[in-house]
Structure 1
Amino acid sequence: MSATRLLVLGVVRGYGRAHGYLIGSELLAWGADRWANVKWGSIYHALRQLTKAGSLIEDNLATRTEYEITAHGEQEFQRLLRNAIRQPEHRPDMLGAGLALLPALSRQDAISLLGQRLAALESERDDAGVQLRKSRGPEHIGELYTLWEQSAQSGADWTRGLRSRLEAGKYVMAGEPGSPGEPGSWPATD
């Protein structure tokens, strides 16, 4: 649920104020149902849980409920976003959510977090190589370590590339003119 929580917080934050249907429509337009397994039910569940936790406040209007992010919600959003960029995971949903909301970070923060991700991936790659050489199990088990080694190397190559693109000025990031990463900076749709 962390990817869904991050995405829901990010959309509410981006619009400044949003209702469930707007959040769901936005996330489905991004394809989050495919890469983060976001479903309508998980969106509304996240809204209830985030409200209960004090990350969102709700305003019950006559026709719908609208949500706004709280100071606590901003802290939770930043924590989830930074972890999504910094920490490699075998499932792609958190990284996908982090990338979808990447402009909410300053350029320097994103570059620094990607540096931490790169170091972790290189360590995973090296550890998998060591395990491959030390493996005493059935011969075909080596394929598992080879997969981990190559996956970590591929992740490191991609991370290095994104970091270089950011260093070269690609994408508008938080604190820069026209950034879509500032709270309430997304255009209203209703």
Structure 2
Amino acid sequence: MSATRLLVLGVVRGFGRAHGYLIRAELLRWGAESWANIKWGSLYHALRKLAEEGLLTAGDIDEAGRVDHEITARGEAEFFRLLKAALREPQPRPDMLAAGLSLLPALSRAEAIELLEVRHRTLRTSQDEYQHQNDNWERAPHIRELFGLWTHTAAGGAQWTQQMIRRLRAGTYLMAGEPGAVFGVPGAWPPDAELAGYGPDNYSPIPGPSG
């Protein structure tokens, strides 16, 4: 799966209509180059590819050489497929989860909790499997450090996921379909977002790891 693909679909969906410059500027404000492993050349490649696949429409080139894109019904389905997989399925790299979390309010509270519960069960199972391998390894003893690292990583991921589920159950964040929820509504991002930046919290940019 591609974090870039998910983010591009999510930003176009949020604005309702967006060109490559606006998408790039918005993701830069979110710090996505540091947490989603985005290569800016691949962003424009993703736009062309998504349009070729019928997931985005591509308008005419304007005077500035920019092309506006809109998400299609197929693109909407692909967006939710990628978003749900990003939250449900643990991956070795963190970029898909980071992209999924940045677009989390596009889901209902119940959907998000259900997906994270699956993630939690998967991580707990992985933790047990890695611990079993560690306990029963009989070859080069230093290899146990690798199993120990994987056990620790799975345990930490499971703990964070459980805490995230608790926050959602407690009503943290505005999720799709709830009164006042804006971020997850297609085309609802404010028209001045190109200047102000837009994130899930009060239209503020999403900070990167050092933010």
Normalised by the size of structure 1, how large is the TM-score? Answer: 0.97
CA RMSD of aligned residues (A): 1.0
What do residues 36-71 of structure 1 show as CA deviations (whole Å, max 9, x unaligned)? 111220110110110011100011242310000000
1:177, distance to aligned residue in structure 2 (A): 2.1
Deviation by residue 1:59-85 (Cα, 9 ceiling, x = unmatched) = 124231000000000000000000000
1:166-181 → structure 2 map (5 Å cutoff): 166-179=168-181, 180-181=183-184
Residues 119-141 of structure 1 show CA distances to partners (whole Å, capped at 9, x for unaligned) of 00000100101110121221110
Q: Per-residue deviation at 1:29?
A: 1.0
Query: Paired residue for 1:154?
Result: 156
Question: What is the deviation of 1:4?
Answer: 0.2
* Separation in 2, partners of 1:94, 1:141: 28
Aligned residue number for residue 75 of structure 1 = 77
CA distance in 1, matches of 2:44, 2:179: 33
Mind listing any 5+ residue stretches in structure 1 that lack a counterpart?
none
Secondary structure at 2:37 match in 1: coil
Does residue 54 of structure 1 match 2:54?
A: yes
Gaps of at least 5 residues in structure 2 are: 195-211
Determine which structure has the larger helix proportion and give its number. Answer: 1
Residue 149 of structure 1: CA displacement? 0.4
Q: Hey, what does 2:188 align to over in structure 1?
A: 185
| Residues 63-102 of structure 1: pairs in structure 2 closer than 5 A | 63=64, 64-102=66-104
**Structure 1 residue ranges, 4+ long, deviating more than 4 angstroms after superposition:** none
Q: Deviations over 1:13-34 (max 9, x none)?
A: 0111101011001111111101
CA distance in 2, matches of 1:188, 1:7: 19
Quote the Cα distance in structure 2 between the aligned partners of 1:40 and 1:6: 14
Equivalent residue number for residue 126 of structure 2: 124
Percent identity over the alignment is 57
CA distance in 1, matches of 2:21, 2:119: 34
Aligned twin of 2:23: 23
Q: Distance in 2 between matches of 1:137 and 1:131?
A: 11
More displaced 10-residue stretch of structure 1: 1-10 or 71-80: 1-10
Task: Output the amino acid matched with 1:119.
Answer: R
Please give the alpha-carbon distance, in whole angstroms, between the structure 1 residues aligned to 2:188 and 2:128: 42
Matching residue of 2:202: none
Report the TM-score, using the length of structure 2 for normalisation: 0.88
Greater Cα shift, 101-110 or 35-44 = 35-44
Whole-angstrom distance in 2 between the partners of 1:167 and 1:122? 20
Q: Name 1:104's counterpart in structure 2.
A: 106
Q: Aligned pair count?
A: 190
Bigger shift: residues 53-62 or 149-158: 53-62
CA distance in 1, matches of 2:105, 2:95: 17
